Amino acid sequence: MTRFAAPIAEQIWDMKYRFKAADGTPKDVTVEDTWRRIARDLAQVEKKPKVWEDRFFAALEDFKYLPAGRITAGAGTARRVTLFNCFVMGTVPDSMSGIFDMLKEAALTMQQGGGIGYDFSTIRPRGADVLGVSADASGPLSFMDVWDAMCRTIMSAGSRRGAMMATMRCDHPDVEDFIAAKSDPARLRMFNMSVLVTDDFMEAVKSDDSWDLKFGDKVYRTLQARDLWNRIMQATYDYAEPGVIFIDRINKANNLSYVETIAATNPCGEQPLPPYGACLLGSINLARLVSDPFGDKPHLDVEALNTLVATAVRMMDNVVDVSQFPLEAQAREAQAKRRIGLGVTGLADALLMVGLRYGSDEGAAQTEAWLKAIARASYLASVELAKEKGAFPLFDADSYLASGTMQQMDEDVRDAIRQHGIRNALLTSIAPTGTISLYAGNVSSGIEPVFAYAYTRKVLQKDGSRTEEEVVDYAVQMWRELKGDAPLPDYFVNAQTLAPADHVKMQAAAQKWVDSSISKTINCPEDISFEAFKDVYMQAWDSGCKGCTTYRPNDVTGSVLSVSESSEKTPSETPAQISEGGDVIYMSDPLDRPSELEGNTYKIKWPDSEHALYITINDVVISGHRRPFEVFINSKNMEHFAWTVALTRMISAVFRRGGDVSFVVEELKAVFDPRGGAWMGGKYIPSILAAIGGVIEKHMIATGFIAGEGLGLKTDPQAQVVGLDAPRGPACSACGQFDLRMIEGCMTCGSCGHSKCSG
């Protein structure tokens, strides 16, 4: 008997979380071994480790409590990794040396896989005086470009990806450039971006007052607040960024407002954090706690919930003591405040199981009640920990209980905190759960609605063939098992049909009892009017949300996986076709290799290398147009063998998928070698990989695939996919399937769980 509720769950476990030796041999033979590994590691700091190991195992068993991916993959492996998902870095000084000190810290953190957030409002605006050097400042956007290049370099070195968040205050003189930055598809691709919106600004927008853009004591420009708000809205309408963070609301509600000021969040926005703050995440799987689902008296088992929450809080508190940290400042910050972020997943499925429609008034009320129950249980569990192990070091009862969040907490909880203290300064957060929700049997993600009741994915087999399998939502699968072929009730709704206002209603209901914040995407139809789109953000502000992230599919952001209203399934994939006009398109399957191809071979002699590199690029001719099809990189230097073979295979695989693959050139040319580059042909080439990119660009120009140097696309384009019954978005960079959807503020793959934000 397998513990996995769906084939995709076992595949995700094997790919993402199963502990394996360096040669790929599994050390976790079963998923029970994974649960035992985590439980044993987190129980090691207890006075009775075996007792707590068994209790932790029981919480993990059957996917009831889901630690974040870093914990599931890293705990108990003896690898020097951080179990924290992401960090907000230190305050960026307004000096050249300070800025590059921060860049170094960011690189060290990302090297361990941590996502990072930064507030760039502290850097003086473009054109401001730089004292002592007779120069004008280049502004925060120019330094963000440096961060962006650093992130790409860390990724090219083979490290696990970590996303970045950049924030800027709504009164910074360069905020208009910040808002417009993503209009250039080549710029700041490694960043998520959000504007820090203040209460004063929102009041000025509503009353149509003027608004000063200033730095320090100097006002650089005055404009109408509503005009700036409309700029934010237009950019988000067109490019899905920047997001909006209601920063004053966050600071007023913060339990720790007496010892910290927040100016940034982690990459997905659910954890507003102080300088060097870290987010420690985990989720209660509500879908596993419903008794009598779809029955006569379905209900959430509150007693089981309280027990599970208490155990989860203790496990997460132990992570603070067990985990490694990239920087000592991060360790000190975590240990001084011991903040954790316990959230939920499977909310939409749980609502379906008890017969409630996601987005209805009844569904929102039930969501608020469940989240309040989790908040109460979390705070009371942390009080019990404080009795046993002590309160967090910076605890001050009067100041703590005076915060906005604690003032609304039930009086019995407040009394317990006043009397005994509390172990963890903050306890609740709703994080992205795209991958772990698949691992748990494809339960609905976080507090998002069900994205699709079922869809078909292609699975690559060991022999190279592909098979199709149906991926079914957890609640839908349960309905089928209990009710057979009975049609789904009317209260089954999904992200394709839900009104934006219903999304906001659910976010606001959950936010009342979440002391940090929530990662959620408010899906908007492509044809929503600009005025209606702006109303979504005003609804979020008026209903008490701490931020707002929307996604409107269009030609720039891309479409998402489409679900037919007449079927539970998405359209199946069909063979690729090539348009007669020879237009560049994506193909749903790679082209087969013809027996003969046209090509050219180029030589690169890299300084200090004994042997030259020889690069052969072969082209395929389609409708009279020549386009790159494959690359071969050869050298007698055996030190180059592994990476040249890997690069050969990867670039060739990209070329054979079709589309405007000129973005490959720009990606290679952007890689710099920290040991230094070389001068070649009168130009400085930052790395041997950049030199290879230059050769491929030269070949593309010669064959007419691109018009000239630097004229290739700097990003993987949104392109037409032909031979399909419905529009589809871009392919997943991890598994290649056309199954990306915007969930919890990040493009997430429904087939493999890969996310821009979680790596």
For 697, the 3-state DSSP assignment is helix
Active-site residue among 85, 251, 254, 266? 266
Buried (b) or exposed (e) across 366-398, using 16+ Cβ within 10 A? Answer: bbbebbbbbbbbbbbbbbbbbeebebbeebeee
Alpha-carbon distance of 750 to 759, in angstroms, equals 14
Are the beta carbons of 350 and 69 closer than 8 angstroms?
no
Alpha-carbon distance of 476 to 218, in angstroms, equals 59
Which helix (DSSP H) or strand (DSSP E) does residue 166 occupy? strand 164-169
Active-site residue among 86, 151, 170, 268? 268
**What are the phi and psi torsion angles at 598 (to 5°)?**
-85, 145
Beta strands in 226-292 (DSSP E): 243-246, 264-265, 272-273, 278-279, 281-285, 290-291
Q: What type of residue sits at position 197? A: V
Could you check whether the bond before residue 594 is cis, i.e. omega within 30 degrees of 0? no
Are the beta carbons of 745 and 192 closer than 8 angstroms?
yes
For residue 79, what are its two tokens?
A: 């690898």
For residue 317, what are its two tokens?
A: 């508190």
For 694, the 3-state DSSP assignment is helix
- 270 counts as catalytic: yes
> What pairs with residue 679 in β-bridges?
684
For 599, the 3-state DSSP assignment is strand
- 752 counts as catalytic: no
- Whose tokens are 């172990």? That residue is 423
Alpha-carbon distance of 270 to 249, in angstroms, equals 14
Alpha-carbon distance of 655 to 598, in angstroms, equals 15
For 254, the 3-state DSSP assignment is coil
- Whose tokens are 């087969």? That residue is 592
- Whose tokens are 């994974």? That residue is 34
Active-site residue among 105, 260, 270, 744? 270
- 241 counts as catalytic: no
Catalytic residues: 266, 268, 270
